[in-house]
Chain A
């Protein structure tokens, strides 16, 4: 087990190193210059050059890369060109909305997907099964920005049930900030419920056909106990896998939803950073996302141990 964890951590470092190298090269290959963007439309070429020197963007790429790498190892991801704050601090400020949005939307997705998925598998081939599968396809096909816009317009603007956008003003407490997440979480949750629903259904279908389920029924166990105790527990591994990956995707990839609802999360941050050519922030976000994926993968694998006693590392 220890050896397994050591290997996984070594692999994790390699992955993060590769990601940050690729990120570094890619953002610099993109045309567009942060200095001219920061100075506004009427800045002269000389002013832009001066700022480039101040920001260290005039140094050879290799030197910039080496500096970046040595600093990153020490936990310093540089300073945001736009905010003039350490990237670690900028990312830290954006972590809260992203993580809570991911958690809430995961709860929404699971609340929708798990019962329907189990029920659809149990009633395989029935009209209800067909309807739930088709609805899942539909939910997955509608882009989240459209769902978001519709919810925003009808539930927030017309009915006034939720705030339209943002994350609260300077005096907003924790509960109020969480209130701003309800609508985006429902939006994201619905979109992501489709995948989890299909996995749950498929996984349950496999299990319900197994001999031990038949045996359980033959022993006179109630249907509820058969499905929820025996089958669901064993259908858990594929469901955990997809839930884990969905979570990582939600934290890092809720770009569109964060944009529509103007949430100051990591998705919004990275889009703005790309538009502003804020190289350190783009790199920093990519590193955090890569680390998150690797960690979630590891956590998922470790969860298998809990769910299925047969799994050994």
Chain B
């Protein structure tokens, strides 16, 4: 009887399950619903992951994070003074609506990007004009040299996406792109279905986008445990944003493999330079001296497999890696901190740490930090709220001294907004501003590295922000899945499941 029941259930489940994974469909579990398909207006990773399959930019990054052409036909011709970028466009590129891409589309798109995208707006004052200087050529003129421009044009986050001129508006209702896949269906909170675009032409500089699967389906699964179970059961071919605690279970499973992004990013204690306690350099130094970064990372990530105690802004293997100033990292010296507090004449006012449990590791780091800071003589007030509240409160400098966030390692340091005086943290040190200006206007890569070392040094000396360390992120894939390069923004156009 038991045997018969099992047989029935298995048969029923086989009939009821979604079409089993085949080489034709790649089901990807993502952490939530992308709230827009217009990557220009969003800086969320989940938006980038999905939209990069159907929307393209002039440039992109290769596996080594170097900028390579995508919709551009080649790298730009840059004038000697670094002010004029002449960008050749690929011919024969078709939008999903059947129209051909030309310079008018690119001009309209870049104009919109400078107007509505946060990363575009950040450089809008440096761009004098975007002109169509031929049917397949666009010329960007800057008012001052700006080296990160190419990285900005290549980034999929707040992306300089290229749309047909006809759909350009402050708000775009239906996004039309040139990508290897096109948007077929979207059922909010259930799936986003992408299908192969028949009119796609391969880029000349970037790696091939082979259009291997017939369909790519992004399934928002907010619960982390459900993403793990779905991966292990074979329901998903790929799962993003997994808890590191699931590593061993995935590693032991026959049908799945862990994908460890090593290192993925850095948790950061953002500092309020506009108002309150942390505007005093001695207080900032006291916080920096008191914090036990290794303990904080251990509490947050549990296993050394998932973090590195590292004070440099970029990890080993990156071009930006430098040791400048790192002696000030991980001092774990509460006595020294007490000395700074005395110098500051600290009166015991509470140091307010704003954090959330949306990302549990933020909270765990904060708890360890609180203990160390109290040992150094601080009065600490933890403000633990949900992410929505944190996102609102951090814009009000009256409400916090430190808030906790994190970022992936970005290919271009100038993409890190916290370095800029205009960011909500308001770090407005004139010496740092001068270094930053030199950094963004220098075009020679070697010289830029040297200037970045100065920038890192002043981040640590002036305690502009506090980098806690490096952490790894866990994703998971079905055993035998090939063609997906591990990345904070994994792409699936080359994905293939083993037969």
Contact surface of A with B, Cβ cutoff 8 Å: 30-34, 36-45, 47-48, 82-83, 85, 90, 93, 149, 152-153, 156-157, 160-172, 175-176, 178-180, 182, 259-262, 264, 268-269, 272, 275-277
CB distance from B34 to the nearest CB of A (A): 10
- Of all chain A residues, the one with the shortest Cβ separation from B416 is A42
Chain-A contact segment, one of B223-231, B290-298, B303-311, B329-337? B223-231
Q: A169 touches which one: B18, B230, B395 (CB < 8 A)?
A: B18
Query: Quick one: which of A33, A39, A82, A175 contacts B16, CB cutoff 8 A?
Result: A175
Within 8 A of A (CB), among B185-238: 185, 187-191, 193, 217, 219, 221-223, 225-226, 229-230, 232-235
Task: Pick from A169, A172, A277 the residue with the most CB of B within 10 Å.
Answer: A169
From B189, B225, B393, A149 is in contact (CB under 8 Å) with B225
Shortest Cβ distance from residue A85 to the other chain B in the assembled complex, whole angstroms? 7
The verdict on B184 contacting chain A, using a C-beta distance below 8 Å, is yes
Contact B193 A41 (CB under 8 A): no
- The 17 sampled A-B contact pairs (Cβ below 8 Å) are A31-B385, A36-B388, A37-B391, A40-B47, A41-B44, A43-B43, A44-B424, A160-B13, A165-B226, A166-B221, A166-B235, A168-B18, A171-B18, A172-B18, A176-B16, A178-B16, A269-B189
The distance in angstroms between the C-alpha atoms of A144 and B221, with both chains bound, is 19
Which residues of A have CB within 8 Å of B233?
156-157, 160, 163-164
Given the complex, which residues of A lie within 8 Å of B13, measured CB to CB?
Answer: 160-163, 179
B459 to chain A, nearest CB (A): 18
**Judging by beta carbons under 8 Å apart, are A33 and B44 in contact?**
no
Q: Is there an interface contact between A262 and B222, defined as CB atoms closer than 8 Å?
A: yes
B29-47 contact mask (Cβ, 8 Å, vs A): 1 or 0: 0000101100001111001
A269 to B33, CA, bound (A): 12
Query: In the complex, are the beta carbons of B229 and A31 less than 8 A apart?
Result: no
Q: Of A40, A259, A276, which is in contact with the most chain B CB atoms at under 10 Å from its CB?
A: A40
Q: Decide if B389 is an interface residue (CB 8 Å cutoff).
A: yes
Which residues from B are CB-within-8-Å of A152? 226, 229
**Is B158 at the interface (CB under 8 A from chain A)?**
yes
The 8 closest A-B pairs by CB, nearest first: A179-B16, A32-B388, A40-B43, A42-B43, A33-B392, A40-B44, A31-B389, A32-B389
Dominant SS among interface residues on chain B:
mixed
Contact A40 B393 (CB under 8 A): no
Point out residues on B near A: beta carbons under 8 Å: 6, 9-10, 12-13, 15-19, 25, 27, 33, 35-36, 41-44, 47, 118-119, 121, 158, 184-185, 187-191, 193, 217, 219, 221-223, 225-226, 229-230, 232-235, 385-389, 391-393, 395, 405, 417, 422, 424
Are A170 and B185 CB-contacts (below 8 A) given A36-B395, A48-B395, A180-B16?
yes
- Set of chain B residues within 8 Å of A38, measured between Cβ atoms: 35-36
Contact for A32 among B41, B191, B386, CB less than 8 A: B386
A163: contacting residue among B18, B119, B385, CB under 8 A: B18
Given A164-B229, A259-B222, answer yes or no on A170-B35 (Cβ-Cβ < 8 Å). Answer: no
Q: Which residues of A contact B222 (CB under 8 A)?
A: 259, 262, 272
Q: A41-B405, A45-B424 given as contacts; is B223 within 8 A of A260 (CB)?
A: yes
Q: How far is the CA of A168 from the CA of B391 in the complex (A)?
A: 33
Cβ-closest chain A residue relative to B32: A272
Contact of A164 with B230 at beta-carbon distance under 8 Å, contacts A45-B395, A169-B217 already known = yes
What CA separation (Å) do A268 and B18 show in the bound complex? 21
Contact between A259 and B223, CB atoms less than 8 A apart: yes
Beyond A42-B118, A47-B118, A163-B17, whether A85 also contacts B391 by CB under 8 A is no
Chain A-chain B contacts (Cβ-Cβ < 8 Å), number: 160
Question: How long is the Cα–Cα vector from A165 to B41 in the complex, in angstroms?
Answer: 31
Q: Across the interface, which residues of A come within 8 angstroms of B391, CB to CB?
A: 32-33, 36-37, 41
A169-B191 Cα distance, complex, nearest whole Å: 7
- The answer on a CB contact under 8 Å between A275 and B158 is no
Contact in complex: B189, A268 (CB < 8 Å):
yes
Chain B residues near A153 (CB, 8 Å)?
A: 229
CA distance A28 to B460 in the complex (A): 41
| B15/A83 in contact, CB under 8 A | no
Contacts of A85 in B (CB 8 A): 188
How distant is B2 from chain A, measured CB to nearest CB, in Å? Answer: 13
B232: chain A residues within 8 A (beta carbon):
157
Q: A45-B395, A165-B226 are in contact. Are A82 and B18 (CB under 8 A)?
A: no
Do A40 and B184 touch (CB < 8 A)?
Answer: no
For B221, give the chain A residue with the smallest CB separation.
A262
Given the interface contacts A32-B391, A42-B43, A45-B424, does A82 sit within 8 Å of B229 by beta carbon? no
A117 to chain B, nearest CB (A): 25
Contacts of B35 in A (CB 8 A): 38, 82, 276
B226 near A262 with CB under 8 A, answer yes
CB distance from A151 to the nearest CB of B (A): 10
